[in-house]
Chains A and B, each alone.
Chain A
Amino acid sequence: MAKVKSKAKSNGVHKKVATHIKRNDGIPFDANLFEGININRSAVERRAATIGKRRSVKKQWQAAWLLKAITLIDLTTLAGDDTPSNVNRLCAKAKAPVRQDLLEAMGVQGLNITTGAVCVYHNHIANAKAALGDSKLPIAAVSTGFPAGNIPLKEKLKQIELSVAAGATEIDIVVSRELVLRSKWKELYNEVAACRKACGDAHMKTILATGEIPTYTKVAKASIVSMMAGSDFIKTSTGKEPVNATIPVSLVMIRTIREYEEHTGYKVGFKPAGGIRTAKDALSWLFLIKEELGDEWLDPQLFRFGASSLLGDIERQLEHYVTGRYSASYRHPMA
């Protein structure tokens, strides 16, 4: 079991702030960067289908990868019926995501494993802040008329400012789908750039809502425009669209991240969100990131899962690793 510790350490699970990554300040609007983009859906899907088949991690390696996955989760609750009590539970879980006896069995109890952040609506920022106390866990707030984004820009900016003022250090914005669907790229750039300005020091994750974008080519174009406008992360979905994070759409987006870095030198983060429920899924995403972007991106500063139930499955897999017995969800403290 002690084997996990060295693997987990080399995976950097204990690092709260990894090596400093230069923030993406964006670049002036340049249509040349995206106009020639052509994405072939079938070929993307073929590659995506083999990601989880070409790679596999077992035993202590798998345990270490799953611990790593935990540190990359934005543990999320975004429901109409959120109240202080469930938000508090969420925060408690984020601080202590794995049962202590399991951590001890794996010898990783000293590594202070937490989730990457918690993600809540604006109204619960203060709440979360109190619940997280001095754990230094970041609070991400969804903003800008989440999830549909159909409110005036002025209102969007106001929301961002309020959330930052309330203590959110990460802001997940939604783009106006209308601008994407109507190919109003300059307008999209302006909107995202304005949001970024409003964020100030808070990191901005730009949600494209890919489930509502008809082609991968448009997803790629929207990704590039969002990065040009200064997004720290690009994010697939709100979790509220009919189709949320998928491996193929993620592949399209992270290839644009690679392209953008080659062009500008800025490293932009990626956050798949919605529908990621199993440890196996999470590993597939990690394989995808490692293969397409490299180990550097497997860091909370550059990669997050937007998920609520994923953690539960990872805990059960970790218990299986420790005990050799298949676990039940009620054996793990709920969020």
Chain B
Amino acid sequence: MEYGPAPESDSVAIEFLEKHKRSFNLFINGKWKKPASGKYFDSLSPGNKKKLAKISEANAKDVDDAVAAAKKALPKWIEIGPHARAKYLYALARQVQKHARLFAVLEAMDNGKPIRETRDIDIPLVARHFYHHAGWAQLRDKEMPAYKEVGVVGQIIPWNFPLLMLSWKIAPAIAMGNTVILKPAEFTSLTALLFAEICQKIGLPDGVINVVTGHGTTGAALVNHKDVNKIAFTGSTEVGKIIRRATAGTGKKISLELGGKSPFIVFEDADLDSVVEGIVDAIWFNQGQVCCAGSRLLVQESVADKLYKKIRARMEKLRIGNSLDKCIDIGAVVAPVQLKVIEDLVQQGVDEGSTLWQPSWKCPTDGYYYPPTMFTDVSPSSTIAQVEIFGPVLVAMSFRTHKEAVKLANNTRYGLASSIWTENINLALDIAPQIKAGTVWVNCTNVFDAAAGFGGYRESGFGREGGKEGLYEYLKPRVDEQFSSSPIGAAVKKGKAVAKKSNTPTIDRTTKMYYGGKQARPDGGYSEVVKNPAGESIGEVSIGNRKDIRNAVEAAHKGNKWGSMTGHSRAQVLFYLAENLMIRRDEFAGRISQMTGRSKADALKEVDTSIDRIYTYAAHADKYDGHVHHTPMRAVTLAMPESIGVIAVACPDEYPLLGFISTVIPLITMGNNVVVIPSESAPFSATDFYQILDTSDVPAGTVNIITGNKEELTQVLTKHDDVDGIWYFGTKAGSKDVEFLSADNLKRTWVNYGKYRNWMNDEEGEGADFLRHATQIKNIWVPYGA
């Protein structure tokens, strides 16, 4: 019973290519424009190595033109308003649907992936993305009145899901009122160019979407362009880090969706035959060239051999071949360079002693094909268990206990996705929150939808695409525009020391560091005098160094009680904090006056606002909850805001108490532990706060405070790989340093670029934006059915 060939016709796609004489220009300002360089490069079909078309190489001049076009188009695009934008998005969705097969065929030819996938998965998801975001365009000002568009957005997409990634980028961007310059991957530009044609056809205003094709240099020109307000990138972690560094301090918003080595966890009570199909979808979908591919199989030891046997049997039945054959499971790898990467890593796996298994059949030789591959006898220390292979290669390991499964799953720098297989909902919902990954699929894998956010933890990047959570990547708070270029509420120079002179000496007080719920002497053994604005000494503060930071970070990780408390319990502690601060209201106000020279009345206002602010976050503690997304399948898709982990905070220098409260409290409200560098010039409000923390049942390790040189300590924290995020409120230069140095482990950063909030103003000093930066959204997909 042979299947025989079942070819999908390529005639309409060929017609499209011929209409363009197999040569494509750049799409800038609604017109097709020859590249300034006059250079073109070839786009090949990886399934048969045949040339499909010539693609333009855009240089800096072209990028400049495209950015200028987007910038010019912006005011009008904003002015036409949500409903008009919604109509354009709707038209794009309809057009994608009407030309679905052409898109599917062209994509399969250009990328090498099976027509089944482009026809049944990629293109329907593209249409869905535009429909869904047509809705968000309509609702923008009603649902998110406090936000506005970011402006001109540069978007760089990969070659693995060319049109799908285009839709993930363009739909939310233009729905939120931004204009776009998109750079497709050099291997796969064709569907983006067909899409550009559709933009012309529906009469999308010129310049709203521009497509510049080319290589890395084209992308770099876009990233570095001064008029680009945001970069959205999907691609390798390596390039993601380059983009983080390149945009550091510029104020450009960035979102990065990077690599992964996603765990696929199988418990012994799982439906193993279904697990096998899950693995097919996880790692033999799109030739394994999927950032969230379930490439690390972790299986409970009791069923490991049984499962491996089933997987091998299934692999034998997979069919590989030309992308336009409707009867294949696996197509061609995108390009020789990627094939080489896969071959080399597989060889390394063999060299390191893991056991390789491939089916008995041979791959076709006329394209860039690689057979489905499974490695057993793999340990976490194997290279193939750590490195993203981006090919059809599964590495399998076993675990003994649930705890060990979680540990193995999280034993990676990445954190994009994960999959959990068990028929026990208690177990699934216990494990899901423990996995450090932006997406958790329970008993399914590689399912996507416009209504669900997608994005990484750790070095898999930051930002979300899809869902309401994804919209914020293309929005900025309106309040940001009213920030001041100099600090508000700074110390008053002419003020006098408030502390009255007394004839009897007071007890000499030394403020120490505070971490792990205890005060600790500084490692270096140095202290320095703190003076008030009048130049009078008001006390001594310990000078923290890198070892103090190390200790504080360790203490923060050890203190795992706070994060596991319920929102209700955290709220109780926060209310208690406010209560205890209230009792010492006068004393804290006196301290503020002493340090800043501001009037007592003014200082009392700061204390009262701090108490009010703690109340605000205590109120949020059990109310800032997630969503159940309307994904179009029989599933509950939970979008849960989770704490990020250990966050460093460099407090604003101004408002010694309120600045501390306004930054630390939202972070801990959401369950993070913090390492705080308080105001350098006025540190005593924070050090006085130790006692409040101690008496308010805040568990040890939740708040850790290191005093000393702000910029120096910030650097140490930013370079610390076990710090998951950092909030920095300081200078423009300091902001740049934080963003630049954070690239190494891709910390979540929130900096002020030398713009200053009025912390006394609720609109600027508190709110949902703080909570959003204090959390990351995890989407947990739970399909159901008896």
Measured CB to CB, the residues of A under 8 A from B are: 7, 10-11, 36, 38-47, 50, 53-61, 65, 68, 214-215, 255, 286, 290-291, 295, 298
Could you tell me if A58 and B4 are in contact, using CB atoms closer than 8 angstroms?
Answer: yes
- Nearest CB in chain A: distance from B562 CB, A: 36
The chain A residue sitting closest to B328, CB to CB, is A54
The chain A residue sitting closest to B326, CB to CB, is A56
Could you tell me if A38 and B6 are in contact, using CB atoms closer than 8 angstroms?
Answer: no
Could you tell me if B273 and A255 are in contact, using CB atoms closer than 8 angstroms?
Answer: yes
| Residue among A10, A58, A59, A214 making CB contact with B786, cutoff 8 Å | A214
Residue B337 CB within 8 A of the other chain: no
Could you tell me if B444 and A46 are in contact, using CB atoms closer than 8 angstroms?
Answer: yes
- Nearest CB in chain A: distance from B272 CB, A: 9
Q: A53-B116, A56-B327, A291-B317 are in contact. Are A41 and B5 (CB under 8 A)?
A: no
* 0/1 string, B308-342, CB within 8 A of A gives 1: 00000000010000000011010000000000000
Q: How far is the CA of A50 from the CA of B284 in the complex (A)?
A: 14
Could you tell me if B444 and A42 are in contact, using CB atoms closer than 8 angstroms?
Answer: yes
Residue B493 CB within 8 A of the other chain: no
| Residue among A38, A60, A215 making CB contact with B269, cutoff 8 Å | A38
Could you tell me if A43 and B329 are in contact, using CB atoms closer than 8 angstroms?
Answer: no
Q: How far is the CA of A36 from the CA of B326 in the complex (A)?
A: 37
Could you tell me if B327 and A42 are in contact, using CB atoms closer than 8 angstroms?
Answer: no
The chain B residue sitting closest to A290, CB to CB, is B1
Q: How far is the CA of A60 from the CA of B271 in the complex (A)?
A: 38
Q: A38-B423, A42-B443 are in contact. Are A57 and B4 (CB under 8 A)?
A: yes
Q: How far is the CA of A298 from the CA of B3 in the complex (A)?
A: 13
Residue B634 CB within 8 A of the other chain: yes
Q: How far is the CA of A60 from the CA of B634 in the complex (A)?
A: 39
Q: How far is the CA of A286 from the CA of B327 in the complex (A)?
A: 14
Q: Could you show 19 A-B contacts with beta carbons less than 8 Å apart? A: A40-B274, A42-B634, A42-B783, A43-B274, A43-B277, A46-B281, A47-B274, A47-B277, A53-B116, A54-B116, A55-B3, A56-B3, A56-B6, A57-B4, A58-B6, A61-B3, A214-B786, A295-B1, A298-B1
Could you tell me if A38 and B2 are in contact, using CB atoms closer than 8 angstroms?
Answer: no
The chain A residue sitting closest to B310, CB to CB, is A258
Q: How far is the CA of A43 from the CA of B786 in the complex (A)?
A: 11
Could you tell me if B271 and A215 are in contact, using CB atoms closer than 8 angstroms?
Answer: no
* 8 interchain residue pairs of minimum CB distance: A61-B4, A43-B274, A41-B785, A42-B783, A56-B6, A38-B423, A56-B326, A40-B271
The chain B residue sitting closest to A40, CB to CB, is B271
Q: How far is the CA of A323 from the CA of B360 in the complex (A)?
A: 40
Could you tell me if B2 and A7 are in contact, using CB atoms closer than 8 angstroms?
Answer: yes
Could you tell me if A38 and B270 are in contact, using CB atoms closer than 8 angstroms?
Answer: yes
Residue B278 CB within 8 A of the other chain: yes
- Nearest CB in chain B: distance from A14 CB, A: 14
Residue B18 CB within 8 A of the other chain: no
The chain B residue sitting closest to A258, CB to CB, is B273
Could you tell me if B5 and A39 are in contact, using CB atoms closer than 8 angstroms?
Answer: no
| Residue among A42, A50, A65 making CB contact with B785, cutoff 8 Å | A42
Residue B602 CB within 8 A of the other chain: no
List the A side residues contacting B269 at CB < 8 Å: 36, 38
The chain B residue sitting closest to A287, CB to CB, is B3
List the A side residues contacting B271 at CB < 8 Å: 38-40, 43-44
The chain B residue sitting closest to A248, CB to CB, is B785
The chain A residue sitting closest to B783, CB to CB, is A42
Q: How many B residues have CB within 8 A of the partner chain?
A: 31
- Nearest CB in chain A: distance from B350 CB, A: 29
List B1-19 residues whose CB lies under 8 Å from chain A: 1-7
List the B side residues contacting A36 at CB < 8 Å: 269
List the A side residues contacting B277 at CB < 8 Å: 43, 46-47
Could you tell me if B327 and A55 are in contact, using CB atoms closer than 8 angstroms?
Answer: yes
List the B side residues contacting A7 at CB < 8 Å: 2, 4
List the A side residues contacting B530 at CB < 8 Å: none
List the A side residues contacting B5 at CB < 8 Å: 58
Q: How far is the CA of A60 from the CA of B5 in the complex (A)?
A: 10
List B222-278 residues whose CB lies under 8 Å from chain A: 269-271, 273-275, 277-278
List the B side residues contacting A59 at CB < 8 Å: 4
The chain A residue sitting closest to B271, CB to CB, is A40
* Most-contacted residue by chain A among B116, B270, B274, B783 (CB, 10 A): B274
- Nearest CB in chain A: distance from B460 CB, A: 25
List the A side residues contacting B7 at CB < 8 Å: 58
Residue B120 CB within 8 A of the other chain: yes
- Nearest CB in chain B: distance from A149 CB, A: 24
Could you tell me if B1 and A65 are in contact, using CB atoms closer than 8 angstroms?
Answer: yes
List the A side residues contacting B116 at CB < 8 Å: 50, 53-54
Q: How far is the CA of A42 from the CA of B783 in the complex (A)?
A: 6
The chain A residue sitting closest to B635, CB to CB, is A42
Could you tell me if A68 and B1 are in contact, using CB atoms closer than 8 angstroms?
Answer: yes
Could you tell me if A57 and B786 are in contact, using CB atoms closer than 8 angstroms?
Answer: no
Q: How far is the CA of A54 from the CA of B281 in the complex (A)?
A: 12
Q: How far is the CA of A59 from the CA of B269 in the complex (A)?
A: 44
The chain B residue sitting closest to A289, CB to CB, is B1
List the B side residues contacting A57 at CB < 8 Å: 3-4, 6, 327
Q: A45-B785, A214-B786 are in contact. Are A61 and B2 (CB under 8 A)?
A: yes
- Nearest CB in chain B: distance from A225 CB, A: 18
Given contacts A45-B785, A58-B4, A215-B786, 15 further A-B contacts (CB under 8 A): A7-B2, A10-B2, A11-B1, A38-B269, A38-B423, A39-B274, A40-B443, A41-B785, A43-B271, A43-B443, A50-B116, A54-B329, A56-B3, A286-B1, A298-B1
List the B side residues contacting A39 at CB < 8 Å: 271, 274
The chain B residue sitting closest to A7, CB to CB, is B2
Q: A47-B277, A54-B116 are in contact. Are A42 and B4 (CB under 8 A)?
A: no
Could you tell me if B2 and A43 are in contact, using CB atoms closer than 8 angstroms?
Answer: no
List B365-403 residues whose CB lies under 8 Å from chain A: none
List the A side residues contacting B444 at CB < 8 Å: 42-43, 46
Residue B784 CB within 8 A of the other chain: yes
Q: How far is the CA of A83 from the CA of B1 in the complex (A)?
A: 38
The chain B residue sitting closest to A65, CB to CB, is B1
List B568-604 residues whose CB lies under 8 Å from chain A: none
Q: How far is the CA of A42 from the CA of B277 in the complex (A)?
A: 12
Q: A54-B329, A55-B3, A61-B3 are in contact. Are A41 and B786 (CB under 8 A)?
A: yes
Q: How far is the CA of A55 from the CA of B3 in the complex (A)?
A: 8
Q: How far is the CA of A125 from the CA of B317 in the complex (A)?
A: 42
List the A side residues contacting B317 at CB < 8 Å: 291
List the A side residues contacting B3 at CB < 8 Å: 55-57, 61
The chain A residue sitting closest to B7, CB to CB, is A58
* Most-contacted residue by chain A among B1, B2, B7, B783 (CB, 10 A): B1
* Most-contacted residue by chain B among A11, A46, A58, A59 (CB, 10 A): A46
- Nearest CB in chain B: distance from A114 CB, A: 19
Q: How far is the CA of A280 from the CA of B443 in the complex (A)?
A: 29
- Nearest CB in chain A: distance from B317 CB, A: 6
Q: How far is the CA of A59 from the CA of B5 in the complex (A)?
A: 9
Q: How far is the CA of A65 from the CA of B278 in the complex (A)?
A: 29
* Most-contacted residue by chain B among A7, A54, A65, A298 (CB, 10 A): A54
List the B side residues contacting A298 at CB < 8 Å: 1
List the A side residues contacting B270 at CB < 8 Å: 38, 40
Could you tell me if B443 and A60 are in contact, using CB atoms closer than 8 angstroms?
Answer: no
Q: How far is the CA of A65 from the CA of B6 in the complex (A)?
A: 14
* 0/1 string, B104-126, CB within 8 A of A gives 1: 00000000000010001000000
Q: How far is the CA of A72 from the CA of B270 in the complex (A)?
A: 34
Could you tell me if B120 and A53 are in contact, using CB atoms closer than 8 angstroms?
Answer: yes
- Nearest CB in chain A: distance from B108 CB, A: 14
- Nearest CB in chain A: distance from B422 CB, A: 9
Q: How far is the CA of A304 from the CA of B635 in the complex (A)?
A: 35
Q: How far is the CA of A203 from the CA of B786 in the complex (A)?
A: 33
* 0/1 string, B423-441, CB within 8 A of A gives 1: 1000000000000000000
The chain A residue sitting closest to B329, CB to CB, is A54
List the A side residues contacting B2 at CB < 8 Å: 7, 10, 61
- Nearest CB in chain A: distance from B421 CB, A: 8
Q: How far is the CA of A50 from the CA of B121 in the complex (A)?
A: 11
* 0/1 string, B124-168, CB within 8 A of A gives 1: 000000000000000000000000000000000000000000000
List the A side residues contacting B786 at CB < 8 Å: 41, 214-215
